[in-house]
Structure 1
Amino acid sequence: MKSLRYLAVLTALVIAGGCSTPPPPEQKVATLQTSQATSAPSSASTGSPEAARPRERLDMTPEETDQLYETYNRCLGENGLPQKGTGTGTGSGVGVAPGRPDPAKEAAAEAACIGKKPLPPWEYDTANPQAADFLHKMVLCLRAKGVRLVEESPVKPGDDRTAIEFGGKNNDPDSISKGLDLTPRCEKELSSGGGR
């Protein structure tokens, strides 16, 4: 009789266990984590023509930046746009700067050379969701270093970079001079993690 009672209890447990519902699975949400909030997108991860374009960097020398633009300007010249500073052969021995080219010719040359047109540094690129924050911190840094008249320039449609304006409405020479001199220092401080 005892074994029959154990069998009945065991059967009841098996039946009760089979009728119970299992606990719900743990809810998981996929997240993307990056090592740096302001890191530039990888050219391998984007298949756009923008990915192949050269990009300026904050740590570039003026010579390196000039070289990027020299390649782009040479391409424009090869596609029908006169390069700035070239003469027209007027016979006077003095080069004449070219006038504004035909807009259709200009648009065609720019389209042909878009792959060589340098992108701005990622910190200033309007495609960077944190560029406005970087620009705001730049203005605060410059003001803290004594630049009186410095403002964030409003971004217009079609702009690919954010910008800073120095000197105010009267073009204060002291603010312009100090601003231009101190900009690389603030860029270095902010891009290396200082002032964040």
Structure 2
Amino acid sequence: MSFSCCLSTPQFLPLLSKSKPFNGDSKPASVSVSSRLRASADVPDYLSTDWLESRRKRPFGPRLNFSAEEAVQHQLDALKYNDQPRPDYGIEFAGFDPFERSTYFGPFFDLGQFERFRRIFHHSTYRVLLGHKERKILSSLLVKENRFKQRVWIRGNRPEEEEIFQFTMVQKVGGSWDGYWLTESLLNDGDAFAGGLAY
């Protein structure tokens, strides 16, 4: 059994045959072939070819360059325009670890499925955030170097609908979210689940 080098396959022969001999002024042909191969390797095989461009066009989502305050404002924007470009897209911004019981809404909940997380946002107390009309920052506090709290008053799009929420943001250290400000919890100032839990 014999194996031939990948560059000897017919699909690469036109690339090699069109290259000019190296005369000192231009780059050798092998550099141009390797740069073409390297460029195609920038996007992993399991992602679509337009993955990077689609990530740049995403209207919402955590960014490394966001401060804690900006991360809260962008999350609120995401919830305000929740159904753009698709239903509950803004809720996806919030994020949580599906493998651990979560205190995102205060009490320990098993939020292992996005559907459970989504239902809580559509609960009567948290739904004021979805499509809200007005908001005002009441207070901000940098608790530690990597922990930030902010209280926000929200007026919803239904008559006399208003609530106060407290965001707790944590700047992650290590892992794929290193340096990002992410929401640790979003608490309602009142008794958020007094009317029961849509769980």
Give the TM-score range, shorter chain: under 0.3
Which structure shows the higher strand fraction?
2
Of structures 1 and 2, the larger Rg is shown by 1
